[in-house]
């Protein structure tokens, strides 16, 4: 399926307009749009504006609160809980990270849990909030079952992503954002939109057989076999059970039951390097590490060794100039004049 190049500001505006059609307040619509376009700019289209149609459908059918009353309770010197009132996860996670940043600035560490949330999009957005303040950011979330456990035939845990952000002085921050599955399911959705085959290592069909056809993939495979499976369990405990939320197969599905709230959990953590070492020296050491990685001997078929987040940064630089490639079907949806929703 062909793609169209769209300037990032136009893309944000289109998303905001779509969300406002289902009575999402402007402030929240702008945050959601910012998170989605952030993902597309980084080339992570699985978490980009293609999700807009799903969010609109969920709001319209009553499974997502467009105007939540988000509440924060500080539970200790460096801890707190955000109750998202089942609003947009993007808005809720951003607020949670802001609270964690404040706690870390005062107390070295900030650990904030989230309950009663929804899909929050690319976690890289939230750890970057921390790195922008010269702080270390960590974010994680559970998701509904879509990944087979190591040795299992049917899905149990979700893709359960985790992200880390480390600030630097001269270089841009190191940002690792990864699913604990081989890929995020959104990449399968993107392959369906573009009608392209996927690697056999991504997922399995209804019978548990690996498939290259994105329309046949019923479940994903864990990254690194038992290692990704183990990480998924840990993240489900920290962002699910610890937050009083469901886990594994008990998490409400993203696709289906659009009239029901999902009550998702997330957790974010911020570490203030200045409480452990010289901040200036820490940032310089990160720069030195990045420089040494760049100078590392290169394997055949590669031009240079990059640090986590750099491939996405390279795409972002290019897309800011050329526009973001968006599937024609997604762009058609965003630009289509909608009938009023009552």
The reply to whether 102 belongs to the active site is: no
- pLDDT at position 342 is 37
CA distance 155 to 148: 4
SS3 154: coil
Neighbours of 40 (CB within 10 A): 27
CA distance 127 to 306: 19
CA nearest 172: which of 88, 63, 333, 286? 286
Which tokens is 79 given?
């801890």
- pLDDT at position 1 is 59
- pLDDT at position 339 is 47
CA distance 157 to 250: 9
Q: Could you list the pLDDT tens digit for every one of the 342 residues in the chain?
A: 589 999 999 999 999 999 999 999 999 999 999 999 999 999 999 899 999 999 999 999 999 999 999 999 999 999 999 999 999 999 999 999 999 999 999 999 999 999 999 999 999 999 999 999 999 999 999 999 999 999 888 999 999 999 999 999 999 999 999 999 998 787 888 888 888 999 999 999 998 888 999 999 999 999 999 999 999 999 999 999 999 999 999 999 999 899 999 999 999 999 999 999 999 999 999 999 999 999 999 999 999 999 999 999 999 999 999 999 999 999 999 999 754 443
Regarding beta strands 174-178 and 162-166, do their DSSP bridges make them parallel or antiparallel, or are they unpaired? antiparallel
**Of the residues 119, 142, 171, 266, which is catalytic?**
119
Neighbours of 197 (CB within 10 A): 11
Neighbours of 87 (CB within 10 A): 26
pTM, to two decimals: 0.93
């Amino acid at each position: 399926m062909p793609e169209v190049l769209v300037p990032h500001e136009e893309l944000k505006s289109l998303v905001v307009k779509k969300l406002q059609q289902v009575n999402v307040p402007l402030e929240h619509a702008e945050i959601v749009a910012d998170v989605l376009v952030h993902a597309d700019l980084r080339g992570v289209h699985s978490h980009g504006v293609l999700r807009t149609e799903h969010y609109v459908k969920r709001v319209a059918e009553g499974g997502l609160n467009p105007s939540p009353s988000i509440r924060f309770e500080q539970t200790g010197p460096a801890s707190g809980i955000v109750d998202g009132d089942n609003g947009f996860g993007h808005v809720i996670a951003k607020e949670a990270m802001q609270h964690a940043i404040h706690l870390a600035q005062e107390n070295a560490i900030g650990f904030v849990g989230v309950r009663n949330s929804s899909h929050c999009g690319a976690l890289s957005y939230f750890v970057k909030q921390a790195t922008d303040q010269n702080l270390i950011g960590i974010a994680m979330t559970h998701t509904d079952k879509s990944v087979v456990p190591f040795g299992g035939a049917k899905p149990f845990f979700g893709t359960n992503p985790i992200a880390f952000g480390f600030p630097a002085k001269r270089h841009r921050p190191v940002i690792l954002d990864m699913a604990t599955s081989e890929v995020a399911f959104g990449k399968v959705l993107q392959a369906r939109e573009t009608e392209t085959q996927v690697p056999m290592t991504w997922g399995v069909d209804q019978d548990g057989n690996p498939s290259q056809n994105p329309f046949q993939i019923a479940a994903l495979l864990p990254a690194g076999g038992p290692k990704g499976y183990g990480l998924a369990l840990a993240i489900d405990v920290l962002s699910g059970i610890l937050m009083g939320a469901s886990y594994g197969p008990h998490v409400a599905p993203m696709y289906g039951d659009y009239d029901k709230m999902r009550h998702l959990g997330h957790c974010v953590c911020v570490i203030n390097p200045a409480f452990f070492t010289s901040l200036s020296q820490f940032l310089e050491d990160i720069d030195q590490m990045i420089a040494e990685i760049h100078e590392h001997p290169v394997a055949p078929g590669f031009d240079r060794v990059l640090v986590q987040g750099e491939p996405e940064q390279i795409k972002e630089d290019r897309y800011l100039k050329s526009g973001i490639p968006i599937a024609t079907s997604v762009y058609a949806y965003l630009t289509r004049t909608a009938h009023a929703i009552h």
